[in-house]
Structure 1
Amino acid sequence: MKKTSLKSIDKSNWEEAIQLSVKEDQQSFIASNLYSIAEVQFLDNFYTKGIYIDTKMIGFTMYGIDPDDHNYWIYRLMVDKDYQSKGIGVQAIHLIIEEIRGSNDTNIPLIMIGYNPENLSAKFAYKKAGFIETQLSSWGEQLAKYTL
């Protein structure tokens, strides 16, 4: 059985991360992995991770504690176009939740996410992983929460 895991993005794998891509009709839904790797350099308490099946990176995530509301947020989650529709996104969400639980020493109660309301793949993956939709944000994204 193949093992899904998360591994920190560092100098050994960042180039592999920026080669990943989503389907063409999904590209407007998410920032590039290269942008996210640059952005995380300026965010305290945020992490970028590769999503792996065994030793192959097949996705990318960025998550951490948002400085505005002090909740955990999953800012990015993507699965490469060649590995979509196989349940890997939901597995990755569960791995992220477990990592957050393991480091949540300040008892932050929520994990939040925001996604384009037209991104049905994201909507169904987050719902399947236990997120509950809340409201539309002022910037137009559907927000959803997961209670830790």
Structure 2
Amino acid sequence: MDRSNVKVLILKPITKHNWEEAIQLKVKEEQKNFVVSNLYSIAEVQFLDQFTASGIYAGEQIVGFAMYGIDPDDNNYWIYRLMIDDLHQGKGYGTAAVLLVVEEIKRKNTNGIPTIMIGYNQDNEGARAVYMKAGFTETEIAPWGEQLAAYNLKAEVH
């Protein structure tokens, strides 16, 4: 596949200047049960001290949304939300976005946290494929019913 026309993805913080475009992003109809709205996530992140909400951009175009940070329950990094807009799915942005968030977490991880966790609906085969391709390993089913997967940050320490 020719990737010469694929734009590099970047993360930009959600601010007063881009929150409205972030809440316009939507997943496909059949994916709506898999993720809460970006509006909910933007509200929720206001009360999570160590979390960041970011727009995922291809050039100047917002194509997705991510929310990630340190969960106070287990002191691991967690990717609470990651979505690619339905109009931009199928372009390879999903795996690239996960890897971009992983790189951002590595950059911020000055205190040696060993693991990034993510949870997703057990029926969400698309998410499973993206996370496995990005280097996550499924662990267990969470008490709330989601499949959990871990990315080992220590495996990359040289």
Aligning the two structures, in what range does the TM-score lie when normalised by the shorter sequence?
over 0.9
Aligned residue number for residue 143 of structure 1: 148
Inter-partner Cα distance in structure 2 for 1:115 and 1:16: 24
- Asked if residue 90 in structure 1 is aligned to residue 111 in structure 2, the reply is no
**Aligned partner of 2:49: which letter?**
D
Inter-partner Cα distance in structure 1 for 2:100 and 2:8: 11
Inter-partner Cα distance in structure 2 for 1:53 and 1:22: 17
Correspondences of 1:62-141 after superposition (within 5 Å): 62-141=67-146
Aligned residue number for residue 156 of structure 2: none
**TM-score (structure 2 length as normaliser):** 0.92
Say which of 36, 42, 45 aligns to 1:37.
42
- Structure 1 residue 94: deviation in Å? 0.8
**Aligned partner of 2:126: which letter?**
S
State the 4+ residue runs in structure 1 displaced beyond 2 angstroms: none
Deviations, residues 51-104 of structure 1 (Å, cap 9, x unaligned): 000000010000000010000000000000011122101001111111111110
Inter-partner Cα distance in structure 1 for 2:90 and 2:131: 13
RMSD: 0.6
Aligned residues: 148
**TM-score (structure 1 length as normaliser):** 0.99
Inter-partner Cα distance in structure 2 for 1:85 and 1:65: 30
Structure 1: tracts of 5 or more residues without a match: none
